[in-house]
Amino acid sequence: MERRKILRALAVVLVTGVVTGSRPAEAQHPIVDVSGEWNSVFAGGTSTLRLTQYGATVVGVYGSSSSMPGAMAGRVNGRLMLGRWTDASSSGGFRLEFSPDGRRFAGTWGRTVDSNTSGGPWIGSR
C-alpha cells in the first residue's frame, strides 16, 4: 500500500511539470479515453500500466514483478499522448499514439526528459 502512495505522489509531481504552462482552449481532435489497465511492452520487458484520465490530462503508474515501478503523466490531443515517465533511478519523455477504438497504442519512450524516442518502442493493449 505504501508503494502505491509513493507512485501516486510521483504522478502528481509529473502532472505539475507536464500540465503547467499554456494550454490550448480546446483540443484539435476529439480525445480518446485512455483510462484503465493496459498490458505494455517497453525497455525489453512487459509491465502493467494503469492510467487515469481527467479531460486531456492523464496520470498513471506502471510496474511488473521484474521491473522497478514508475509513474507517468501526459496530455492527450486526439489520439496522441505526450508526456514524461519517472522511476526511482531515471526519467524521460514518451510519445504514444492510440488506435481509433482506444484499445491499443504504439509509440516510443526516451531515456531523458528531452527525448521521447531514444529508449525505443513502447506498445500496449487492453
17-40 confidence digits (pLDDT tens) = 555 444 444 445 678 999 999 999
pTM of the model: 0.78
The sign of the dihedral angle between the CA atoms of 48, 76, 59, 54 is negative
Between 57 and 23, the higher pLDDT residue:
57
CATH number of 2-19+26-125: 2.40.128
Q: How many CA atoms lie within 13 A of 54 on its CB side?
A: 8
What is the C-alpha to C-alpha distance for residues 9 and 12, in angstroms, rounded to an integer? 5
- pLDDT tens sequence across 74-112: 999 999 999 999 998 899 999 999 999 999 999 999 999
